[in-house]
């Protein structure tokens, strides 16, 4: 008797990130029209959400509030069913004050925030989280290792992180040349996760999909896309972000729950 179909986890696509460009892959979206077209194709392939990075006129990573508001409005018109999360990633370019200003001016429905970046100016941390709470912004905490989770727990116990701000994105690996994450890299996170909130996972390199399938078995939502990996396990580049999304979903459908 065939096993009953199991519901798939929440899948978010991260189509560009802050560091890659057309020289890395010609289908990596840079402009707003390219991002919208990528969002359309990824939604059709099965993605539920989009992790949004915007670029300036030169193609560099930006936290410009006007560009963010424009992108959110255009995506909302084009794909109202798609959930959109902005990034506050600093990439060595922006201060905590810049990140706070972005959150205050954009007031997004959803934002990702790396706890180790906010810790660069810990005195602003209470204002960052209070600003999100006042705006109704859902917060996803980016964590790279158990030390980041320990900082998250400490800020929660102090009341710096407010009730309901419990979501985490566990990142397997780093933004580095040749990074190859493995499913076993998930193990150090599992004993330290907060008890509440959504847990999401992303991973780098050719084993990205295998890492995400392992995360799905532990109840994680998944983030996939060209921000983290351009190729499949054999090293062959995906045609585009939608192809990566479709391949991940096909793998999840083949994988026993």
Which ranges constitute the DSSP H helices of 119-207? 125-135, 146-158, 187-190
Query: In terms of residue numbers, what domain contains 26?
Result: 11-254
Is position 42 within any domain?
Answer: yes
Which residues of the chain fall short of a pLDDT of 70? 1-6, 175-177, 256-257
In a domain, 6, yes or no: no
Q: Is residue 31 part of a domain?
A: yes
Q: Is residue 1 situated within a structural domain?
A: no
CA 11 to chain centre: 10
Helix (H, G, I), strand (E, B) or coil at 138: strand
Q: Determine, yes or no, domain membership for 5.
A: no
Judge whether 146 and 188 are in contact, CB under 8 Å: yes
Distance CA 186, CA 203 (A): 9
pLDDT at 256: 67
User: pLDDT digit string (tens) for 61-91?
Assistant: 999 999 999 999 999 999 999 999 999 999 9
pTM above 0.85, yes or no: yes
Long-range contacts of 58-63 (CB under 8 A, 24+ apart): 59/21, 59/30, 60/93, 61/18, 61/19, 61/89, 61/91, 61/93, 63/88, 63/94, 63/98, 63/99, 63/102
Please report the pLDDT score of residue 3 as a whole number.
37
CA-CA distance, 100 to 128, in Å (whole number)? Answer: 6
pLDDT of residue 179: 77
Q: Is residue 214 a part of any domain in this protein?
A: yes
The CATH number for 106's domain is: 3.20.20.70
Query: What was the pLDDT predicted at 7?
Result: 77
For residue 175, the model assigns a pLDDT of 66
* pLDDT computed for residue 148 by the predictor: 96
Q: Is 151 contained in some domain?
A: yes
Report the domain count for the chain: 1
249, two tokens = 């979903």
- The tens digit of pLDDT for each residue in 23-52 reads 999 999 999 999 999 999 999 999 999 999
Q: What pLDDT is attached to residue 257?
A: 56
């Amino acid at each position: 008797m065939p096993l009953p179909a199991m519901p798939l986890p929440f899948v978010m696509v991260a189509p560009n990130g802050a560091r890659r460009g057309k020289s890395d892959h010609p289908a990596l979206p840079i402009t707003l029209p390219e991002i919208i077209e990528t969002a359309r194709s990824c939604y059709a392939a099965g993605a539920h959400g989009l992790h949004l990075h915007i670029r300036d006129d030169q193609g560099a990573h930006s936290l410009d509030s006007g560009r963010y508001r424009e992108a959110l409005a255009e995506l909302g018109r084009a794909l109202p069913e798609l959930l959109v999360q902005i990034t506050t990633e600093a990439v060595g370019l922006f201060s905590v004050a810049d990140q706070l200003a972005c959150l205050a001016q954009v007031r997004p429905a959803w934002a990702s925030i790396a706890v180790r970046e906010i810790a660069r100016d810990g005195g602003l941390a209470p204002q960052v989280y209070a600003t999100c709470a006042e705006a109704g912004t859902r917060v996803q905490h980016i964590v790279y290792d158990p030390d980041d989770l320990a900082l998250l727990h400490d800020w929660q116990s102090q009341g710096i992180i407010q009730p309901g701000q419990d979501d985490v994105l566990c990142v397997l690996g780093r933004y580095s040349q040749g990074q190859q994450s493995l499913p076993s890299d998930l193990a150090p996170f599992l004993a330290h996760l907060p008890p509440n909130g959504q847990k999401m996972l992303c991973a780098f390199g050719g084993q990205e999909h295998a890492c995400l399938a392992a995360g799905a078995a532990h109840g994680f939502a998944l983030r996939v896309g060209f921000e983290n990996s351009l190729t499949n396990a054999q090293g062959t580049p995906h045609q585009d972000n939608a192809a990566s999304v479709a391949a991940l979903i096909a793998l999840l459908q083949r994988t026993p729950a």
